[in-house]
């Protein structure tokens, strides 16, 4: 059985895409996933399942009518290992990770907050992505390890 995280796009961001985390958890339980738990109110679901990530992505997107990026624990660990440890998300730096919805070309972006233009994202990618700050990515990976 594999450990996964599902990262939903556009959930509870800026007052849009309202989705209660209890409902989100219930959807994944209804899909037959086990040990389902959510993390913070922005569409992060941790769970265990025997099916492939591609099958789970298709099922979750059909059930939620939302775009979803699903990653394994191994993929999240490799991603975290690739991000320099000094890249943080704090008062000095902003570090975000963009997860591709149509592939696995996930990338981290880092900038000094003093250089960040107001109202602009540091993530500039072609295609559909869902973004999490590096602190969230590291925490999700730690929580996945506990499953």
Residues 67 and 97 in one domain: no
Q: Is residue 104's pLDDT more than 90?
A: no
Instruction: Check residues 31 and 128 and name the one with the higher pLDDT.
Output: 31
Q: Is residue 13's pLDDT more than 70?
A: no
Residues 81 and 67 in one domain: no
Residues 105 and 118 in one domain: yes
112-138 pLDDT tens trace: 999 887 766 777 655 688 999 999 999
Instruction: Check residues 25 and 42 and name the one with the higher pLDDT.
Output: 25
Question: Which of 73, 98, 120 is where one domain is finished?
Answer: 73
CATH number of the domain that residue 53 is part of = 3.30.70.1280
Domain that holds residue 50: 2-73
44-81 pLDDT tens trace: 999 999 999 999 999 999 999 999 999 999 999 999 99
CA–CA separation, 138 and 22 (whole Å): 23
| The pTM of the whole model exceeds 0.85 | yes
Question: Which of 36, 57, 73 is where one domain is finished?
Answer: 73
Question: Which of 43, 58, 73 is where one domain is finished?
Answer: 73
Residues 88 and 108 in one domain: yes
Buried b (16+ CB within 10 A) or exposed e, 18-56: ebebeebbebbeebebeebebbeebbbbbbebebebeeb
Q: Is residue 15's pLDDT more than 60?
A: no
Average pLDDT, the chain: 91
What percent helix, strand, coil does the chain show, rounded to 5? 35, 30, 35
Instruction: Determine the 3-state secondary structure of 35 from DSSP.
Output: strand
Residues 91 and 41 in one domain: no
Residues 32 and 53 in one domain: yes
Residue with tokens 């149509």: 102
Average pLDDT over residues 12-24: 74
Residues 64 and 85 in one domain: no
Report percent pLDDT > 90 for the chain.
73
- When divided into structural domains, the chain yields a total of 2
Residues 20 and 80 in one domain: no
Residues 109 and 135 in one domain: yes
Helical segments of 34-117, H only: 53-64, 73-82
């Amino acid at each position: 059985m594999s450990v996964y995280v599902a990262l939903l796009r556009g959930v509870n961001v800026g007052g849009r895409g309202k989705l209660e985390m209890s409902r989100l958890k219930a959807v994944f339980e209804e899909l037959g996933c086990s040990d389902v738990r959510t993390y913070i109110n922005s569409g992060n679901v941790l769970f265990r399942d025997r099916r492939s990530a591609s099958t789970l992505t298709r099922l979750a997107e059909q059930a939620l009518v939302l775009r979803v990026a699903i990653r394994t624990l191994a993929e999240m660990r490799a991603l975290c290992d690739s991000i320099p440890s000094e890249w943080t998300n704090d008062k000095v730096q902003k570090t975000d990770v963009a997860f591709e919805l149509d592939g696995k070309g996930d990338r981290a972006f880092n900038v000094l907050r003093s250089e960040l233009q107001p109202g602009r994202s540091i993530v500039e990618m072609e295609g559909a992505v869902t973004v999490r700050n590096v602190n969230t990515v590291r925490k999700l990976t730690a929580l996945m390890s506990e499953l």
